Amino acid sequence: MTIYDFKVKTQKGEDFDLSNYKEKVLLVVNTATGCGFTPQYEGLEELYKKYKEKGFEILDFPCNQFLNQAPGTDEEINSFCTLRYNTTFPRFKKIKVNGKEAEPLYKWLQKEKKSGLSSRIKWNFTKFLINKNGEVVSRFGPTVKPSDIEESILKELNNAR
């Protein structure tokens, strides 16, 4: 199984097949607009602008499971991110990342890369790096800044398929 086996919902609630990202390096992030890590949107956008043309995509999944730090509708979240942080990378429908109602994609991501002994997502801005074959290669905790994973992204972009 790879990330390409999953469908997710766009902000407008339409099905979106992640196989559309075949042969790209992906960074999958659960985000929140009212979190202490929210300023990471700036670093994420910098990475996106720098490497998008080289085959890099960031997939943003807002999540309100951690102290209700992503309130509002999908449209309100998108407006906040684009106006406050000028983000241009794809943002999907708000999801749950833990528990019985967790998005299937996130259940798979957690199974593929645990954090220590636990597979649970500990907080917003947990990041999963996916290679060009759709496989999870790394998991980064919320405290890891986007700039700190640039080298890992570059390594995957430079890896032949």
Q: In terms of Cα–Cα distance, which of 86, 88, 97, 84 is closest to 31?
A: 97
Report the catalytic residues: 35
The Cβ of residue 4 has, within 10 Å, a number of other Cβ atoms equal to 16
| Torsion (CA) 150, 88, 43, 154 in degrees, nearest 10 | 0
Measured in residues, the chain has a length of 161
Sorted by sequence, the CB contacts under 8 Å of residue 118 that are 6+ apart come out as none
Contacts of 109-112 with CB under 8 Å at 24 or more apart are 109/28, 109/136, 109/139, 112/136
Tokens found for residue 155: 């390594």
